[in-house]
Amino acid sequence: MSEGMTVRLLTISTVLFATAAVASADAKKAPAPAPAKAPAPKGPVAPAKEAPAPVAAPSPTPTGTPAPTTPASPGAPVEMPEDPPPRDMDGRDENPDRPKGVGVEDDQPAIVVPVKKPMKSAYPVEEVLRPITLPQNMSEVGIAPHAQLSPYLMSDALRARYGITRQVQLGLTYLLGGVFDDPKTPAMVSDKIGVHAGKAVGLDLTVLLTDWMGVRLGVPVYINPVAVSLQLGVPMKFIVSDKFAFGGLDDLLTITLKEFPPSFYQEQINATFANNAGSGTVKSRGGMRVSGFGQYQWKPKTAMLARAGVNVDDFSSTATASGGGLTTFLRAGLQWTPRKYVDLGFSLGFDDLGDVGSFGPAGILNFRI
Q: Which pLDDT value is given to residue 22?
A: 52
Distance CA 338, CA 350 (A): 28
Residue 233 CA to residue 206 CA, distance in Å, equals 9
Cα gap 276→322, rounded to integer Å: 9
Look at residue 281 in the predicted model and tell me its pLDDT.
73
User: Cα separation of 165 and 162, whole Å?
Assistant: 9
Cβ atoms of residues 347 and 362 within 8 Å: yes
Burial of 337 (0-12, 13-18, 19+ CB in 10 A): buried
Average pLDDT by consecutive 10-residue portion of the chain (369 residues)? 58 61 53 52 51 51 49 60 66 58 54 55 88 96 95 94 96 95 70 87 97 96 94 97 96 93 92 81 85 96 97 67 72 96 96 93 96
Residue 321's pLDDT is what? 43
The number of beta carbons lying within 10 Å of the beta carbon of residue 86 is: 9
pLDDT value at position 276? 83
Return the pLDDT at 320: 44
CA angle 123, 244, 215 (to 5 degrees): 60
Fold of 127-368: Porin (2.40.160)
Task: Label each residue of 154-216 as H, E or C.
Answer: EEEEEEEEEECCCCEEEEEEEEEEEEEECCCCCCCCCCCEEEEECCEEEEEEEEEEECCEEEE
Supply the pLDDT for residue 284.
82
Each domain of the chain, given as residue ranges in start order, spans 127-368
Per DSSP, what are the bridge partners of residue 228?
Answer: 221, 258
DSSP alpha helix (H) spans, 205-359? 267-275
pLDDT at 235: 97
Torsion sign (Cα): 100, 105, 106, 108: negative
Picking from 239, 220, 129, the residue whose alpha carbon sits closest to that of residue 171 is 220
